Chains A and B, each alone.
Chain A
């Protein structure tokens, strides 16, 4: 039985994306170093907003650029017939794309989340009561990314993916604004202790379930496609 070529496809995409990944990692490191230097020399709200942008910006942009290049450009630049001429099915093609995008963005997102938690709570920018909400913010970002990744794989269309990016960005902001004003969240967010009440746990669990379901559904739908060029 011939072995799957998914590892070779993942390796190929990682090699193609290496300069981009390294570039964004470098930008992140520089931003975090700058943030560390200027921390304490500016008002807290400014530091919080600036820090949020400097930490999240490179990771989110990196995730979007990579999914665009690996999923959308594969079709737009007509390299897809070359790849699909190899011993591979649509299902395996999709698996390979998920194995490239999810770990790269996931690791990056995990690192920036850790960094954000460090600045937000390790340096007492926010009270510990905000831990559940900040967790929801970062998980919400991952859910939005999963949805955009799914759209990019299913459509492989630049306009549709760009529209999805805009919609999920606005949608995630709206969603976070909504949950922060939910009484079970709002009443603890400025408190001295992290309160993981059923609402907070339910929202976090739902976010995790949505992310996993979207990825699984994408793989399933792709597996049913009969026409793929």
Chain B
């Protein structure tokens, strides 16, 4: 039997006085991890809140686990664990209070798993939330989301503000949660390292638009930095996929997207010598994407 897509957003738009989400397409299958990368204010949280049914899009359609949002949000949210950076628990209450509360709502609550997470996160369930550090609060929230065994996890900047040790703990537990092959994750962050570590698919968001959305390997494979020697000051070939050009005397550094084996030949034919072809890190790819979007060069090249 075909499983419905974990998330299937088509052409969603949302207008605010000073920000607009425009024509967002975002979809991925169940059992995969989609990382949403973008700077602050790019629209990541708005997308996730629309996915959760907490905001209604002005146009477009959203299906989550086959449920139409926000109309069927009750059925959808029975299978979603959501964590947001600005989400808080009740300060005057203990972790146990929250565990009991969530357990009373979800039949799928797994006591053994919850207790294992308590031990693994080194949390004391009798401790009040107001006495927890930021990292402990994030771990408690993650526990509450994971122990109900949802099919889909939606995480909005869960690692923001965490020290490296706690961030690793949180990411490791998220990875462990993914051992169940039908579980899906939509994970937003401006930290490309986190995204690179756990995502199968990556979507770059900037200025309320999706800049690129691809399989992680395709992303990494698709971008290259070429270091060239331009001894004769030859003009560069007019390639639509050039994303950045840096020149230092006769040495040129060109960054290209949609790279294939024919790209170096274009430069060689134009009279440049290709010295090195390097892969980029996801962070570099992200920064070039943002820089390119900012410059508006995409429009000109299109």
Contact = CB atoms under 8 A, between A and B. Distances in A.
B78 A227 contact: no
Interface stretch (B83-91, B215-223, B249-257): B83-91
Contact of A5 (B82, B92, B105, B145): B105
Contacts of A15: 97
Contacts of A79: 87-90
Nearest to B73: A89
B55 A229 contact: yes
B56 interface: yes
B93 A16 contact: yes
A124 to B, nearest CB: 45
A92 B74 CA distance: 10
Contact of A8 (B70, B82, B84, B104): B104
Given A84-B54, A227-B56, A77 B77 contact: no
Interface residues of B, number: 32
Nearest to B98: A82
Interface string B136-167: 00000100010000000000000000000000
A87 B74 contact: yes
Interface string A6-17: 001001100110
Contacts of A37: none
B163 to A, nearest CB: 21
Contacts of A86: 77, 102, 105
B105 A8 contact: yes
A22 B196 CA distance: 52
B240 to A, nearest CB: 39
A184 to B, nearest CB: 50
Contact of A87 (B49, B84, B86, B105): B105
A81 B145 CA distance: 13
Interface of A: 2, 5, 8, 11-12, 15-16, 77-79, 81-82, 84-89, 92, 226-229
5 contacts: A78-B86, A86-B77, A87-B73, A87-B74, A87-B105
Interface of B: 49, 52-56, 70, 73-75, 77-78, 80-84, 86-93, 97, 101-102, 104-105, 141, 145
Given A12-B101, A88-B77, 5 more contacts: A2-B74, A8-B104, A81-B82, A87-B73, A229-B55
Q: Which 10 A-B pairs have the closest CB atoms?
A: A226-B56, A85-B82, A78-B88, A87-B77, A81-B87, A229-B54, A87-B78, A87-B74, A227-B55, A8-B104
